[in-house]
Structure formats: C-alpha cells, structure tokens
Amino acid sequence: MSVHDRPWTAFYGPSVRKTIDTLEYNSIGDFISAKADQFGKLPAFTTCLPNGMNGTLSYKQADEMSDALAVYLRDIAGLAAGDRVAIQVPNCLGYPIAAMAVFKAGCVLVNVNPLYTAEEMVKQFKDAEPAAIVIIDMFSDKLEDAMRDYSFKSVIVTRIAEFLPAMPRGIVGLVQKYWDKTIKPINFDHVRLPDAIKQGRAKHDHMHQVIEDYRANLSPDDVACLQYTGGTTGVAKGAILTHGNILMNMAQVMELIENLEEGKEVALTALPLYHIFAFTVNFLGFYSIGARNILIPNPRPLSNLKRAFENYKITWMSGVNTLFNGLNGEVWFQDTPPKHLKFASAGGMALQGAVAQRWEEVTGKPVLEGYGLTESSPVLTFNPFGQTRLNSIGVPVPSTEVKCVDEDGKDVPQGERGEIIARGPQIMKGYWNKPEETEKTIMNGWLLTGDIGVMDADGYFRIVDRKKDMILVSGFNVYPNEVEDVMAAHEGIEEVAVIGVPDNASGEAVKAFVVRRDENLTKDAVRAYCKEHLTNYKVPKLVEFRDELPKSNVGKILRKDLRAEELAKVSNTEGKV
C-alpha cells in the first residue's frame, strides 16, 4: 500500500507528518532522561486522593529517584540487563518511579494487574519469570500466597501515599492500617521503595554515568515490556513490545493529536497505568511534552475524581465509555464541568454515540475515539482533532497501514465488512515463548486483529463486530476460556459456557450458562466460588442453569448460539418499548 492508497492522510492536520521515519532515541531510558533534562523543575506527576490530599514530583525529582532505584536493581538486588521486573502498582507516584527505573536499568517491564488473585499472579509470574517485583502494600497478602509457588530475587513494597508530604502520608497510613484495615502485616523479606532508592543513591558517587552504562548497548529492537493479553484465543500471552514499538507508537499518537502545548498541559489519568493505552499515551506521551500528570489511584466511585477536577486545570483526559457515561450522570460534574479541557480520548471499548454526544453537551468538548490492541503498543487508529466522526474509530496513525480482508486474506471492496489487519512499526515482535501463537496472529508482517470492520471512502474505519469471543467489561478484557476453566473445576458443575451480554453499566457483562452436576447448587454459590479464584470484573454477573448446552456435531459447545439467543432477547425487549 503506497502513500497514494491511504485516503485518510487527507484528514491529517497541516503539521502532521504522514510517515515518521526515524526515532530520536534508542531506548525509553534515553527518552526519559532527555525529557527530564528538558523540563527540569516542572511538575511531572501528582497523586490526588479522593479527599484532595496530594503529592507531586518534578521531572528532575522523578529522574533522580528512578536513577537511584535502577542502581538498586542492578548493583544491590543483582539483576542483569534483560531481566524481567514485575510492577503490580495502581496509579500513584511509586508507579512511574518504578517503571522508569526498570527501563534505565536495561531490564524488561512486566505490568501486572493489581486486582489479580494469587492464582492469576502465579500464572503470569511462571510465564514471564520476573527476577524482582515492585508491589503495593495493600496486596502483599496475595503476593505472600503467590510466593508459595514462585520466588523473587528482590521484593520492593510501595504504598498509595508514597512521596506525599509527611502529614498526609501519615494520615493515609493510619487510616489504611487501623480504620479500613487494607494494610496487612508483611511476613516475607522485602525492602520499602524509599529505602531501595536511598540504598541506590548511596552506592555510586557518579550515578548518572552508571545509569548511562546500563543502557548503553540497548537498541530500538530490544525488548522493553511484556504486556499480557489473551489475544485471540484466551490463552494468557505476553506481547513482546520493544523500545522502538512503544516510542514509535507514542510518537504516532502525539503527532496526530494537535493543539497541545509543551509544558502547559495537565493530563488526568484515571485509567490504570498498567493498561497499555494509559502506559503509552498518558504516561509516556504526555511526559514527552512536559505535561503534569494527575494520577488517580482508584476512580470508583466517580466522586473520587471530584477534587482532581476542582484542584487542577485539566486540559486532557482519557477513559472508557463507562467512565464518560458515569461522569455525564454526576450532578457535581454537570454543575462544574472542567473549564480548561481541550478534548478527551476514548479507547478500550466501543464509545457509544449517545455518550459522546452527551459528553460534548456537558463539557463543550469532544471525545476522540481510537482503536488498537496490546499487540500494537496499542494505537492503530485515532480520530483527528477537528475531524471527529461519530461511531468511528478514526483513521490510521502515521506510518500505519490498515485494511479489511476476507477469510482468505484478500482485500474486500471499500465499504464491505472484513477482518481488520494492520502493519506498522508499532506491531509487537511476537508472543513471549509462544511461536505458534505468534504465527497465528502475525502473517507476512500484518497483525490479524480478529475484529470485523468497514473502511469508508475517506479511510475512516468503524468496528461492526468482533471475531473473538473476548468480553469487554468496562474496558477490561475477559476471556471465556479462563472463566470456564475455573468454573469447570467446581465439583457441582457438569458443563459451562461463558459469553458477553449487553450491559448498560459496563458495556458488556459476563454471563455463565451452567449444567449442574449437583442440583442443590445455587447461583449465589457459583458466583461466590468464582470470586475466590478470579478478579472481580471476570466473575459472572449473570448465571443461568440449563439442562444442556448447544453443541456442534463433534461436541463443541456453541457459544455463538448462546450469544444469538441473548441478542434476540435484547431485540425483543427493545421492540416492545
């Protein structure tokens, strides 16, 4: 596909490059240090708690702390270049410090969802084999359970109020320990994050030079992250994202987003930083322009965001459909919408047209929808500023080819449905230790997304269906195979099938169809069992008992038939309204 075959470039702004040919930095560590030198004393990261308590680190402070932590990882914990480091931390000042340190140490970052159960943690640990972990203290009890089956060279523990001023830090600590009792005693060897930084700081007189040596041999082709996803099959896989993949995707998105000013933007990060969009765009993208990043540890309930909007001049935010829909309905948000907001960005799940329209009515600013996958670092398409189209995922970002193909891999005519495939410098190397899965997903350099879409005459795309069985619950991926495997282990369950059904609150909800072995088994008992083994958003919201499940001639349970039944119920209900 030549540049002339890319009609979407006509909708790029006048200053937007159609292709980005070279990267300015060899590694993310180089990029981080250079931006810290450029923006120095400007505020980089602010943790804002629901009561307004906050703490801020400047670019210079975050750079120095992450340098010291990198020294700790390499010269005290004994890690080598290329070793994996897991980070299991929600949005707070500890996250960027830890992530930046991993890159500076020449190690590989493994993002781990803080909500994971011990079982889920062990599965990911055994696949990625991290040598060290940085974890939030609230979940240390889960790590203790997980460490019965996996061990680390080093465990570093941080906390939500890390690096806040002494008084609010102390108050938060007391509340967590004695009031809501979210902090449990830690019964394994570990080091606190501030102590690890202190030890690293004391190790070398010329720390900056040591840091440069750690990453001196890194190239854009070297692995930066293992970002876990279920891909198209539901089997947990680590997408191998290189320094070049992530730096290029960051550049592609920031190139297409116009109307941003260096050193003046304030980004609200309610999406978790371990999520690939927030990682690439919120964290690194806005770091690249000297923005101040307001980190929200937990956006639920939505009132947790109120003080952030009141206290900071938010100019940009990202979210999923459920976040925007929820804020649209909050009286305090309607009464005092953010005055300085330029626009918002949506991804992770389909943005409903009614939600987008209501958001613009409330704020006076648009929501720009994009699309991508973990395997593409993640952004493939985005709605250009001022050229937004409702119910569209936008146009391909610079240096990216996207098209729709049929079952044989042949291009479909413009306007017809086909599987979306993409090619560009942001596409992953492959899946960690899974060459067969890689071959199923990347063919001749093209990433097979598994999503069915349509391209219009202008090169704008829209999603019309998903080829995958994946369920999207408030932007989080839920894979039926995983839930079914857990449920099938229950002695009272004979057979089970899991699908996604429409849900006004979360976009989709998990529904389980169960054939009982024990007739006394109740729906509440099924859900309680799932809660013991799965993160909350994976637990079936709905359980239906059946005498049998639909099957193919060879005995395969047909999820598609169950989905068709549920969609028919929705259609019948809507038809009666």
- CATH number for the domain including 565? 3.30.300.30
pLDDT at 331 over 60: yes
Q: Which of 218, 238, 259 is the last residue of a domain?
A: 218
Confidence grade of residue 431 (pLDDT, cut at 50, 70, 90): very high
**Tokens for 271?**
């999406």
Question: Are the C-beta atoms of 257 and 267 separated by less than 8 Å?
Answer: no
pLDDT at 343 over 70: yes
How much is the pLDDT for 81?
A: 97
pLDDT at 416 over 90: yes
How much is the pLDDT for 484?
A: 87
Confirm whether 267 is domain-assigned.
no
How much is the pLDDT for 232?
A: 43
Spatial neighbors of 457 by CB under 8 A, at least 6 apart, are: 7, 414, 415
- Structural domain containing residue 68: 59-218
How much is the pLDDT for 575?
A: 57
Of 140, 158, 505, 455, nearest to 301 by C-alpha is: 505
> pTM of the prediction?
0.86
Confirm whether 107 is domain-assigned.
yes
Dist. CA 361–CA 358, nearest whole Å: 5
Chain segment 257-289, per-residue pLDDT in tens = 888 999 999 999 999 999 999 999 999 999 999
How many domains does the structure of the chain reveal? 2
pLDDT at 577 over 50: no
Q: Which of 179, 194, 218 is the last residue of a domain?
A: 218
How much is the pLDDT for 2?
A: 45
Dist. CA 393–CA 372, nearest whole Å: 9
pLDDT at 436 over 60: yes
How much is the pLDDT for 385?
A: 84
**Tokens for 76?**
């005290």
Chain segment 35-55, per-residue pLDDT in tens = 999 999 999 999 999 999 999
Which stretch, 171-180, 388-397, 533-542, has highest mean pLDDT? 533-542
Confirm whether 475 is domain-assigned.
yes
What is the 3 state secondary structure string of 186-233?
Answer: CCCCCEEHHHHHHHHHHHCCCHHHHHHHHCCCCCCCCEEEEEEECCCC
Q: What angle (nearest 5°) sits at the alpha carbon of residue 566, between those of residues 574 and 479?
A: 130
**Tokens for 292?**
């101040």
Give the bridge partners for 496, in sequence order: 514
Which position has the token pair 């930084």? Answer: 197
DSSP β-ladder status, 316-319 and 266-269: parallel
Question: To the nearest whole percent, how much of the chain has pLDDT over 70?
Answer: 96
Question: To the nearest whole percent, how much of the chain has pLDDT over 90?
Answer: 75
Confirm whether 463 is domain-assigned.
no
Chain segment 136-189, per-residue pLDDT in tens = 999 999 999 999 999 999 999 999 999 999 888 888 888 887 787 778 889 999
Confidence grade of residue 403 (pLDDT, cut at 50, 70, 90): very high
Dist. CA 50–CA 43, nearest whole Å: 20
CATH number of domain containing 100:
3.40.50.980
CA–CA distance from 357 to each of 11, 172, 530 (Å)?
A: 22, 39, 37
pLDDT at 466 over 80: no
Dist. CA 189–CA 200, nearest whole Å: 18
Confirm whether 410 is domain-assigned.
no
Confirm whether 146 is domain-assigned.
yes
Which position has the token pair 């995983």? Answer: 482
Report the 10 Å Cβ neighbour count for 560: 11
pLDDT at 63 over 80: yes
Question: Are the C-beta atoms of 466 and 419 separated by less than 8 Å?
Answer: no
Confirm whether 187 is domain-assigned.
yes
pLDDT at 235 over 70: no
Asked if the bond preceding 168 is cis, omega within 30° of 0, the reply is no
Return the sign of the alpha-carbon dihedral for residues 457, 398, 39, 33: positive
Of 376, 368, 317, nearest to 341 by C-alpha is: 317
Question: Are the C-beta atoms of 365 and 341 separated by less than 8 Å?
Answer: yes
DSSP β-ladder status, 343-346 and 442-443: unpaired
Which position has the token pair 């340098």? Answer: 67
Q: Which of 218, 248, 269 is the last residue of a domain?
A: 218
Question: Are the C-beta atoms of 456 and 415 separated by less than 8 Å?
Answer: yes
E strands in 244-383: 266-269, 292-295, 316-319, 343-346, 367-372, 379-382
Confirm whether 78 is domain-assigned.
yes
Confidence grade of residue 3 (pLDDT, cut at 50, 70, 90): very low
Q: Mean pLDDT score of the chain, rounded to an integer? A: 92
How much is the pLDDT for 294?
A: 98
CA–CA distance from 307 to each of 99, 161, 294, 327, 451 (Å)?
A: 26, 16, 11, 14, 38
